[in-house]
Structure 1
Amino acid sequence: MSAIASASGASMSYAPPRQFIDGQWREGGGEELIGIVDPASETEIGSFVAASPADINTALQAAARAFQVWRKAPAWERGKRLRKIAELLLERRAAIAATLTAEQGKPFKESLSEVDTAAATFEWFAEEGRRAYGRIIPPRACDVVHEVIKQPIGVIAAFTPWNFPLLTPARKIAAALAAGCTCIIKPAEETPASCAALMQICADAQLPGGVVNMLLGSPEAISTALVAAPSVAKISFTGSAAVGRILMRRAAEYLKPTTMELGGHAPVLVFDDADVEAAAFMGVASKFRNAGQLCISPTRFFVHESVFEKFAELFVAHAARLRLGPGHLPETDMGPLANARRRSSVAAMIKEARDRGAECVVTPRGLPARGYFHAPAVLIDPPASSQCMTVEPFGPIAVLCRFTDEEEAVRRANELRFGLAAYVHTRSLTRAHRMLREIEAGMVAINHYQASLPEGPFGGVKDSGHGAECGMEGLDEFLVAKLGNIYLARSH
């Protein structure tokens, strides 16, 4: 156990997590010891022992056994437990946020926001689970009843990344539990303690043992075992398209449905009638949130040529004011990247764009000597085939390009295989509705950068995945529709 500083300056203990199986904490039985590194200092702050095959089997048995109980619990009772989880998240928000910042690196204020959104997600599904409505179908005969009921699909295997280590598990767990499913979650090995804090809250909310389980360790070993397990009914994954394809191929072998929330490369269209100052200010805040490490991060800024120079000047000026530092410091605007690999990848992408003629404005302001930090970078008019235009940066890189008319803007927004989020700035309501229909993305935000919320569907199209999290659509992902044909036998 190691001490770290919180945003208030007080020290807190970082407790290395263990496996959470059948309502109990236990040491992993595997052979691998996995370290957890603070990305702001590059120092190890904890470690855990990976799950063994026996641990995985125990979790599978617990989830399958608990499903037979949880699926029969009234939706009102399930909602009561989810509301309690939301309450406990808010009660413990400061401690959980400090843990999140310690292992992930994002500024403490962003971590607090993540905890709040996770709580709001549980609150939403606490109510939405009571609305898993079926329907009555008008019959073809007077002595027949046709009805459709919604039932939980079964045990869910969920896999989540390191960039939002509390919110992403919350989305999957809240929806699955509201539907009456049980869940085995495998969080990223870089950021396990945030999810572990959620497991403890689930236990304190008196969820029955086995309803939620957490396995830590090798992604390959755990995913292979869970996908193949007969008791697992569905796979839910958030991560890269490359890994998503691997999991989908494995799931297809066993004819198991999947929900895939994969990568993005979000376009931003700034038209000549936009509020340019607001677009630039909000664009910087959203682009460099979590150091650009989020799948809905606005990255490809397509700006009308008549306002391009003004937008670029404002954007660079706002980016230059960002203060880099450890996430626990109150003055920090942008923390480090998650690991050395991300920092190297960002640097290589910038170099490739510069070598191919792009203008690069890097805006370091007191870059810390230690940690996986990289200064915010703004690339001006790189070639369309350069990596920064075709590969998701997942880092603090913003690309600014000119366009001449609406047709070109839409074409460039849609030219990639990604289709998660998109953003549009215009004062024309007619154009706003037109862009909403023409841009190929699962979420489109107009004149702001709020692309997701608990009550709306979160998901993409094309290589950005399929299915949805949150909203009524997120609940449906864990339900199956069953048709009942009832013959009303006449008494004699």
Structure 2
Amino acid sequence: MYIDGQWIAADGRDTQPVINPATGAIIGQVPLATADDLDRALESAQRGFALWRATPALERARVLRRAADWLLARRDEIAAIATFEQGKPLGETRIELQAAAECLEWYGEEGRRAYGRVIPRQPGSRTMVVKEPVGPVAAFAPWNFPLGNPARKLGAPIGAGCSVILKPPEEAPASAMLIAQALIESGLPAGVMNIVYGVPDQVSRHLLASPIIRKLSFTGSTAVGRHLMKLAADGGQRTTMELGGHAPVLVFDDADLDQALNLMVGSKYRNAGQVCISPTRFYVQENVYSRFLEEFTLRARAVTVGNGLQASTRMGPLAHERRVEAIQALVEDARRQGGQIHTGGHPIALDGGYFFEPTVISQLPLSARVMNEEPFGPLALIQPFRTFDEVIEQANRLPFGLAAYAFTQSAKTALLVGDALEAGMVGINTTAVGSADAPFCGIKDSGHGAENAIEGLEACLTIKQISQG
């Protein structure tokens, strides 16, 4: 851990094993924070906030920019470590590292542009609206993007002038520590950033019970997000929530099918489907349904599954054995309810790792669990539709509203579908809905607030009116 400018080892603390998901082997131990550790982190964050909020925005930007350069200068080494502990293919990890560096740099630059405004008044008077950092932030990051998620959680508050206590995932701790190391080496003062690991519920309860914490940022499941919002409500802390998804994909009969297939197969099996915005429910118009299903199945069958460090691998393992069991249960339920498995549907016995076949399922009733629960795995559900109204109803049926996708060559259809889909992010003829300069956000049960972009920085700022007569 990293508390008040010091690295904290596992001595005298409980630990949790870190497991390579491609082999099932234990590769390290991560220390779990004690109550005293968390109190030290809170006190450090309070001191760090007083220091950092008084630091000019230009200097904050320089630290974040240097951290981005530090990461990129070591991209091969860092990407290999992240793949080793999280499992995704090395090519994906390199892209993630690039995005993490861009995120840090962007927040630094945007922090210099947190402008207020002057409201016109009579001569000799004026009213100003200024933006100030909200205070110490508690941030919780999941394991599926072990470099990108910590960069987001750290970049926004640091760019805004806040201090932050980050709890990265215990499953992939080294990746987060490399992001932290980049900031430390780039001149981030002690106290501005504290990194702790621990039993999630114990850490969250302890941090959110403290009046020092003024904001919570969480990425994870809807159930845990609701629990954390209740804890934050007791202390009046503002929240940013990026929660679960179940992204629909609408493929209209005038779509460029090759484009849709190229983008969707790659996106579906990216990170073994362990992506909150992963396309999952594919609704394909009847005239092109058979061709799309056949081609998608062939391409899914050709995806090479294996250790992410091997050059030939296109899909790595699931995060742990529990994910394999969860995906298997969803497939078996689908099969019992009449779903047709076109390819996949089984775990893969490979080197002791947690692998599962890329899977395509059709003819699913709405009662199937996988049609209602986020699979967070390599399952593609392909269903036909006839009319625009019918497919919009199905796409919006669930309480989730994170990402949605559509493919059409009709400008009118594109406009209509963009308006009709209930999601925080809509990709039309593209999967590019996540970038440093665009808000990453959900609606309904998929959360509220935004990360990235101006909105992500604004979430760490508060406003003050100053009137002078």
TM-score by length of 2: 0.98
Which position in structure 1 is the counterpart of 2:242? Answer: 261
Q: Distance in 1 between matches of 2:44 and 2:334?
A: 51
Mapping of residues 88-103 of structure 1, within 5 Å = 88-103=70-85
Partner residue, 1:351: 332
Taking the aligned partners of 2:82 and 2:253, their CA distance within structure 1 comes to 40
The one of 311, 322, 339 equivalent to 1:330 is 311
User: Structure 1 residue 374 and structure 2 residue 356: aligned?
Assistant: yes
Q: Does 1:485 align with 2:467?
A: yes
Corresponding residue for residue 5 of structure 1: none
Q: Which runs of 4+ in 1 moved over 3 A?
A: 28-31, 363-367
Shift of 1:108: 0.8
Q: Which residue of 2 aligns with 1:111?
A: 93
Please identify, of 274-283 and 284-293, the stretch whose mean Cα deviation from structure 2 is larger.
274-283
Greater shift after overlay, 155-164 or 51-60?
A: 51-60
Note the alpha carbon deviations across 1:339-378, whole angstroms, 9 max, x for none: 0000000011011011100101224898625210000110
Please tell me the root mean square deviation across aligned C-alpha atoms, in Å: 1.3
Give 1:180's match in structure 2, choosing from 140, 145, 161: 161
> Is residue 169 of structure 1 aligned with residue 146 of structure 2?
no
User: 2:424 is matched with which residue: 434, 437, 442?
Assistant: 442
Give the aligned partner of residue 276 of structure 1: 257
Correspondence 1:38 to 2:23 = no
Q: Quick check: 1:324–1:368 contact (8 Å CA) kept in 2?
A: no
CA distance in 2, matches of 1:92, 1:420: 33
Alignment of 1:399-418 (within 5 A): 399-418=381-400
Aligned-partner Cα distance in 1 for 2:25–2:279 = 31
Q: CA deviation at 1:31?
A: 3.8
- CA deviation after TM superposition for structure 1 residue 138, in Å: 1.9
In 2, the alpha carbon distance for the partners of 1:258 and 1:348 equals 33
The residue number in structure 2 matching 1:21 is: 3
Deviation at 1:281, TM superposition (A): 2.0
Structure 1 residue 202: Cα displacement:
1.1
2:223 is the counterpart of 1:242? yes
Match of 1:126 in 2: 108
Counterpart mapping for 1:206-221 below 5 A: 206-221=187-202
The whole-number CA distance in structure 1 between the counterparts of 2:13 and 2:73 is: 36
User: Identity across aligned pairs (percent)?
Assistant: 46
Residue 143 of structure 1 and its aligned partner are, at CA, apart by 2.9
Query: Is 1:143 paired with 2:124?
Result: yes
Cα distance in 2, alignment partners of residues 306 and 241 from structure 1: 36
1:323–1:366 CA contact under 8 A, matched in 2: no
- Which AA in structure 2 matches 1:405? T
Specify the code of the residue in structure 2 equivalent to 1:486.
Answer: Q
Choose the corresponding residue for 2:321, options 333, 336, 340.
Answer: 340
TM-score w.r.t. length of structure 1? 0.93
- Answering whether residue 32 of structure 2 is matched by residue 50 of structure 1, we say yes
Q: Which letter does structure 1 place at the counterpart of 2:242? A: E
Give a deviation string over 1:74-114, Cα, whole Å, max 9, x none. 11111000100100110111111111111111111111111
Q: Distance in 1 between matches of 2:375 and 2:326?
A: 8
What whole-Å deviation, never above 9, does each CA across 1:298-343 have from its counterpart, x for those lacking one? 0000000110001011101111110010110010000000000000
**Gap regions ≥5 residues in structure 2:** none
Contact 1:28/1:55 (<8 A) preserved: no
Pairs aligned (count): 468
CA distance in 2, matches of 1:96, 1:313: 38
Q: Are 2:287 and 1:310 equivalent residues in the alignment?
A: no
Q: CA offset at residue 166 of structure 1?
A: 1.2
The aligned amino acid for 2:212 is: S
Shift of 1:71: 0.3
Q: Does 1:387 align with 2:349?
A: no
AA of the residue aligned to 1:174: G
- 1:4 paired residue number: none
| Superposition deviation, residue 381 in structure 1 | 2.1
Counterpart for residue 45 of structure 2: 63
Deviation at 1:30, TM superposition (A): 5.9
Contact persistence 2:347–2:355 (CA under 8 A): no
Quick one: distance in 2 between partners of 1:323 and 1:467?
37
Would you say the 8 A contact 2:348–2:355 is kept in 1?
no
2:350 alignment partner AA: P
Q: More deviation in 145-154 or 428-437?
A: 428-437
Matched, 1:396 2:396: no
Q: Distance in 2 between matches of 1:314 and 1:151?
A: 53
Matched, 1:293 2:274: yes
Residue of structure 2 aligned with 1:433, choices 398, 405, 415: 415
Distance of 2:104 and 2:112 partners within structure 1 = 13
Cα distance per residue 1:232-284 (max 9 Å; x no partner)? 11000000000001100000011111000001000000001001122112111
Cα deviation, residue 218, structure 1: 1.0
| CA displacement 1:369-421 (0-9 Å, x = unmatched) | 52100001101020012111100000000000011011111111101000000
Aligned partner of residue 326 in structure 1, secondary structure: coil
Give the equivalent residue in structure 2 for 1:78.
60
Letter of the 2:127 counterpart: H
Aligned partner (choices 313, 332, 341) of residue 360 of structure 1 = 341
Q: Distance in 2 between matches of 1:415 and 1:282?
A: 24
Compute the displacement of 1:53 (Å). Answer: 1.0
Q: Shift in Å at residue 49 of structure 1?
A: 2.3
2:318 partner letter: L
CA distance in 1, matches of 2:76, 2:36: 35
Separation in structure 2 between the aligned mates of residue 49 and residue 90 of structure 1, nearest angstrom: 28
